[in-house]
Structure 1
């Protein structure tokens, strides 16, 4: 677990730095296409970042799993399983983006997609908390099952570490979407014709 702490700290510093900039900067004038393209680009970056993280974890843990024993072996084994799923999720998301075209979206579509991404990130963050708690509980079962102590600790710690990373990842990106995109959404809907009918609450 300690091997991953520098990576998590560095990633957190970068992500929170971007979030701070997004919160402090005043939103410049924006048109509907810019709003849509910004969401599209950010969503693509999310997929590429998660996919790259998963590949890096799989490469490191794929080697380490064959060179370690006991708790460390199971820790890296679970990392492989977990990030294979992460890689699939990232790939599925990137494929879904191919069906989107920011140039042809209406303002109502752009607002709906912006809100949907924020909601998805919040739901994911809630699941991440469950992953962290579940991993800690799993690791805590080692004393009750000494014959499987290494596996329980290794798997549990891996799930907790991966859940903690995803929690930071989802929350920081939610904040970026909210603090950068929400003011732009308000600006655009305020300028829209009265008949547009965009009434999506901002959370």
Structure 2
């Protein structure tokens, strides 16, 4: 019984290597284990998110500080401009703080080296920044609208307030558009470098989906 189990054990060890067509020793040493690579990819994605949240929190803090000082020292549209910046700063600081707290809790747990989970998280992150960029364009359009409304003498309300609010929306929307665009580019570049090349090896056929992997890194001999 024991020799039979030992034979099955040897067959199990040899089966995975046969699928790689017995690559050379250099190839085996250079190829990192898939779980380790995917866990490192998830950790880098989380690091990019934390960096972005710190930038957003710094921008929010600057708006709160400058707006609080300047509101009592300015008049007219400038005062409304700084008042609106204070509101933006409070919202952005709350979002950045909540995001950093959630990231700190998630950091205590090791990332799951799961390829489908990484793909879903990566696409969710990129789509989120693209969606936010669309909102930023809407903020900019609203700012232009409020500026035009402030120039209209027949518009209801204070023209100075509309101008101040419009200028603030242009500033905040412009910064957020740059921020979300930079974050999307960073995450997309990270995915192209470490995740999407794996997806490019997928082949779809009538019987299902297969992952195509190179058998050997050695060059074939030229044929005559």
**Band the TM-score falls in, shorter-chain normalisation:** 0.7 to 0.9
Q: Distance in 2 between matches of 1:119 and 1:99?
A: 23
CA distance in 1, matches of 2:110, 2:200: 20
Quick check: which one's helix share is greater? Answer: 1
Match of 1:169 among 174, 179, 184: 179
- The TM-score, its normalising length taken from structure 1, stands at 0.74
The answer for the alignment partner of 1:20 in structure 2 is: none
Distance 1:147 1:112, change over 3 A: closer
Q: Which runs of 5+ in 2 are unaligned?
A: 1-31, 203-208, 212-224
| Other-structure match for 1:83 | 89
Max Rg structure = 2
Paired position in structure 1 for 2:14: none
Contact map agreement 1:36 1:102 (CA 8 A) in 2: no
Bigger mean CA deviation after superposition, 179-188 or 128-137: 179-188
Deviations 1:98-119 (A, max 9, x none): 3433433422222211111100
Contact 1:189 1:198 in 2 (8 A): no
> Are residues 1:118 and 2:126 paired?
yes
Asked if structure 2 preserves the Cα contact closer than 8 Å seen for 1:121 and 1:170, the reply is yes
Aligned position for 2:13: none
Describe the SS at the equivalent of 2:116. helix
Paired residue for 1:137?
A: 145
CA distances 1:16-54 after superposition (whole Å, capped 9, x unpaired): xxxxxxxxxxxxx88112201100101111111101110
1:136 and 1:72 map into 2 onto residues whose CA distance is: 16
Instruction: Please give the alpha-carbon distance, in whole angstroms, between the structure 1 residues aligned to 2:130 and 2:55.
Output: 18
Partner Cα separation in structure 2 for residue 68 and residue 198 of structure 1? 66
Q: Number of matched residues?
A: 168
Structure 2 vs 1, CA of residues 114 and 147 (structure 1 numbering), >3 Å: closer, same or farther? closer
C-alpha contact 1:79 1:158 (8 A) present in aligned 2: yes
Q: CA deviation at 1:60?
A: 0.7
For the pair 1:37 / 2:43, whether they are aligned, the reply is: yes
Which structure is richer in relative contact order (CA contacts within 8 A, separation 6 or more)? 1
3-state SS of 1:109 partner: helix
CA contact (8 A) 1:131 1:160 kept: yes
Aligned counterpart for 1:183 among listed residues 187, 190, 193 = 193
